[in-house]
Amino acid sequence: LRAADAFHAQFNRWPGTMDDDVEADVPLLKQCLGNVLGELRAHTTAPLAVKDDVVFEVCRYGGGEIHTVASVVGGVGAQEAIKVITGQFVPLNNTFVYKGLNGTGLTAEF
């Protein structure tokens, strides 16, 4: 996503916004991704790699937004904030993971 943001900053549009741009934007996004990974490598020793399929999917996605996932996660966040502020009920413990493919949620304690 940082590479997509860098692409937007450089070209003033999201990668793959138009259907005709998807194939042409893949190499440009890879270049932006290389720059972002280069910056991240300066701060970590972990190996950083991204598959070409992922880059293509980001271009095919075209800067779209998944409104349903954003609304569910925002609603859960708001509900938890209200629990903390009012002191009623018990907030979620540690991590909440939402799987948008089938609409399920999971709380995990690490």
pLDDT, residue 65, reads: 63
6 close to 35: Cβ distance less than 8 angstroms? yes
> Which structure tokens are listed for 61?
């996605």
Q: Quick check: 105 and 75 in contact, CB under 8 A?
A: no
Higher pLDDT, 89 or 44: 89
What single-letter DSSP state applies at residue 20? G
Quickly state the pLDDT bin for 81 (edges 50, 70, 90).
Answer: very high
Q: What is the mean pLDDT of the chain?
A: 84
Query: What is the predicted pLDDT for the residue at 64?
Result: 66
Q: pLDDT value at position 109?
A: 81
3-state SS of 30-92? HHHHHHHHHHHHCCCCCCCCCCHHHHHHHHHHCCCCCHHHHHHHHHHHHHHHHHHHHCCCCCC
